[in-house]
Amino acid sequence: MITVPVDLGDRSYDVLIGHGAREWLASVLPPDAKRAAVVTQSDIGFAVDPGIDHHVFSIADGESAKSMATIEELCRSWAQWGLTRADVVVGVGGGVVTDVAGFAAAVYHRGVSVVHVPTTILGMIDAAIGGKTGVNLPEGKNLVGAFWQPGAVLCDTDALATLPPREQRSGMGELAKYHFLDDSGSDLDLLPLDEQIAACVRIKAAVVASDEHEGGRRAILNYGHTLGHALETVGSYDLRHGEAVAIGLVFAAELAHVLGRVDEARVGEHRRVVGSYDLPATLPRGVDRDELVTLLGRDKKAIDGVTWILDGPDGVEPVRDVPREAIDKALDRLVTQ
């Protein structure tokens, strides 16, 4: 078992990674909790035993579950069941589940403890860690949410054995960004899966510890997500999150190159990494550029216009005031190369 601490003072917690990690669930719950509300989806098929009185609350499958309606439904169900502020919520599933369970826990009784048991690669290396929770609006992804740190995260690698191949690849799209966030991420593709997960968690834990509420450096964790979220919001391109992020990573590299921030070799490394995980690196057919640019302006990271997360001589960092012509040139390169 690999243990990675997330150092946040009195909100610190451990991330446990490895075979059978879910068996530690009872030991990481709040000592005074008498009930556990287990939030999951019907297609997850990964049972946990909190060791206390518990009830399973299943939310809708897919991204559509990330809505304010789901939050209201969960909170009302918890109130009817008798969940109290001293109890605990357990999120079991992918990023959708941990986002929804975490946000509902953050607002129910103004804050109930939450523990996550992510069952996807994306959930283990990103969504379940760091305390960012949220749901979507028709106008964009993750526009309503809260920072609410879990009490622990249990990354049981047994859960990954039943993931469909496309879901596995989608998780690797999120993993791909960690190649470029830290020097320690450069050889990620050479590690076994549990060590890949642990390496990503270490990188994310260090970033979160330095900027818990995304006031500055934490924004780099959204590398590849600016265009990725726009592509997901359109909804008609049949892209999973990691697939959209992979395209976003290559686009961000091309945009950085157009702006003179990186050379062709660095762009090539982005393409190599994305390709090594069998992920897409070009725009979907029929993409509407004006629609994409409009959606970029609604991204939750937009401050005084679109805030891009771009590579450069000082590493990945926020960049503002990117001209439209540079975006168009990068989009051209994304399609033609």
pLDDT, one tens digit per residue, over 17-67 is 999 999 999 999 999 999 999 999 998 989 999 999 999 999 999 889 999
CA angle 197, 199, 205 (to 5 degrees): 100
Q: Mean pLDDT score of the chain, rounded to an integer? A: 92
Q: Which amino acid is at 314?
A: D
Kindly tell me if the per-residue pLDDT of 120 is higher than 60.
yes
pLDDT, one tens digit per residue, over 267-289 is 999 999 999 999 999 998 888 88
At residue 183, the pLDDT reads: 74
More confident site: 324 or 144: 144
Q: Regarding the domain delimited by 2-163, which CATH topology (the fold level of the hierarchy) does it fall under?
A: Rossmann fold (3.40.50)
Report the distance separating Cα 155 and Cα 157, nearest Å: 6
Q: Domain map of the chain by residue range?
A: 2-163, 166-336
Kindly tell me if the per-residue pLDDT of 222 is higher than 60.
yes
List the one residue out of 211, 210, 186, 208 whose CA is nearest residue 15.
208
pLDDT, one tens digit per residue, over 170-183 is 999 999 999 999 87
Long-range contacts of 286-291 (CB under 8 A, 24+ apart): 287/231, 287/237, 288/234, 289/328, 289/331, 291/234
At residue 248, the pLDDT reads: 96
Report the distance separating Cα 276 and Cα 268, nearest Å: 12
pTM attached to this predicted model: 0.90
Query: For residues 267 and 254, is the Cβ–Cβ distance under 8 A?
Result: yes
**The two structure tokens encoding residue 170:** 């989608």
Strands 88-93 and 35-41: parallel
CATH 3.90.850.10: does it fit domain 166-336? no
At residue 301, the pLDDT reads: 47
Kindly tell me if the per-residue pLDDT of 14 is higher than 50.
yes
146-167 average pLDDT score? 95
pLDDT, one tens digit per residue, over 83-94 is 999 999 999 999
Kindly tell me if the per-residue pLDDT of 75 is higher than 90.
yes
